[in-house]
Every structure is written in structure tokens, then in C-alpha cells.
Amino acid sequence: MEETTTENKILEAAKKIFRQKGMEGARMQEIADEAGINKALLHYYFRNKEKLFLAVFEDSFIQIIPNLSDIFTQCITIEEKISLFVESYIKILEPYPDLPMFILSESRRDPSILINVLERSGIHPKEITLLLNSEMEKGNIIRQNPAHLMVNIVSLCIFPFLARPLLEIVMLKKQGLNPKDFYNNRMAETKDFILRAVIPNYQKR
């Protein structure tokens, strides 16, 4: 069941505002309004803006680097693993379309906020590298640099969220396309594109 303590109300409000506007764009007053409390209470619970922001950032980071590592230890083919990863990742992001820009933009503003949070992150690229190399040995996936392959997959999943406002305007004004249709097809198209670049003789099924 939901905890509706004051501290929790503040955190939820802060998540909403910080993720939308970033550390520098957010206003403590706006967060207080959103939480339905007074501005002074923010400082009572979190001392200052920086500390409140860090709480939101860490929570957000854990959410965007989801616990998907178990996908790669399951007993399924590499094709199914990649498929499942892409589907799960896009599904996780869909309810929080602001998260990717928030994380990347704040990481760029102040990379030091990453240091603490990376430890407890559940990112283990070394293990995935081993898996990919072994699958290449077996001929199950096309030979390529594993680091680039991982970045490629993540790029294709995340970029449409990052560029959403720009993409929507371009589609509407320059192509006469409905952005909703685009985003509805996105998961399937992403999966097929990746698998064509990765699986030998891949045919859509």
C-alpha cells in the first residue's frame, strides 16, 4: 500500500518537477505547491535543494537502469534475450518519458553525481560482453564490437524519448505523419532493425 507520509509526498512532488524541469529549472515553491505543503517544510525534511535533488536523481537512475540483467542469464536464445531486453526497456520507459533526458542532462551538468549512484546500479557490462563474445564464437550473432553493440541497442531504445518534442513537430509539420502511430510501432520496428543487424540471416517472424 502507498505511504502517504509528508516526506513521501514531498519526494513524489520533487520527482515530478525535477524530472520535468531539471535541477536549475525547478523551483522549490513549485515543488511545495505540487506536494500541497509549505516551502519551509522542504527544508525541514531535506535541508536544501541540492539534497532533495540528489534523492530524486538516485531514485531516477535506479529506475532507468532497470533490473534487466536477469534477462541475460535466462535459458533462452540470444535472439530472444535481445528481443526481450528491447521490449522490456521501452515498456519501462513509456510511463516516464522524461527520465532519459533528465538523467543524461543532469549527468552532463555535473558528472560527479554519478559516482555514488553507479556502484549500486546493477550495470554489469563485463558479463554481457562475455556472453556476446561467446555467442559470436558459436556463430549465433554476427561478429562486431560488443561495446558498440550495447550502445547501439540502448541508443535505439532511448533516443526517441530524448528527441520526442522535436520529432513530433517534424512529423506533424514536415511529413504529415501522426506521431502516435510512430510511437505505437516503435517497439516492433526497433526490435526488427536490431535483429537484422545482429542475427545471421534474420527473417521477421
The single residue among 1, 40, 75, 166 that binds its own copies, judged by CB under 8 A, is 166
Q: Classify each residue of 146-178 as buried b or exposed e, where b means 16 or more C-beta atoms within 10 Å of its C-beta.
A: beebeebbeebbbebbbebeebbeebeeeeeee
Distance CA 78, CA 39 (A): 51
Applying CB under 7 A, the site for DNA has a residue count of 16
Question: Nearest 5°: phi and psi at 200?
Answer: -60, 135
Binding region for DNA (CB under 7 A) out of 36-44, 62-70, 88-96, 124-132: 36-44
Q: Classify each residue of 104-138 as buried b or exposed e, where b means 16 or more C-beta atoms within 10 Å of its C-beta.
A: eebeeeeeebeeebeeeeeeeeeebeebbeebbee
Element (H, E) at 186: helix 179-198
Q: Is 38 in the site for DNA (CB under 7 A)?
A: yes
Contact 83, 191 (CB under 8 A): yes
Nearer to its own copies, 76 or 123 (CB): 123
Nearer to its own copies, 108 or 138 (CB): 108
Contact 58, 117 (CB under 8 A): yes
Q: Report what 47 binds from its own copies, DNA, none; CB cut-off 5-8 Å by kind.
A: DNA
Contact 66, 121 (CB under 8 A): no
Question: Nearest 5°: phi and psi at 184?
Answer: -70, -35
Q: Report what 184 binds from its own copies, DNA, none; CB cut-off 5-8 Å by kind.
A: none
Nearer to its own copies, 37 or 114 (CB): 114
Nearer to its own copies, 37 or 65 (CB): 65
Nearer to DNA, 8 or 67 (CB): 8
Pattern 175-204, binding to its own copies, x per CB under 8 A? Answer: xxx----x--xx--xx-xxx-xxx------
C-alpha cell at 175: 511529413
Identify residues 12-31 at the interface with DNA (CB under 7 A).
Answer: 26-29
The footprint of its own copies (CB under 8 A) covers 21-22, 24-25, 101, 103-105, 107-109, 111, 114-115, 118, 123-126, 129, 142, 144-145, 147-149, 151-152, 154-156, 158-160, 162-167, 169-171, 173-177, 182, 185-186, 189-190, 192-194, 196-198
The footprint of DNA (CB under 7 A) covers 6, 26-29, 37-41, 43-44, 47-50
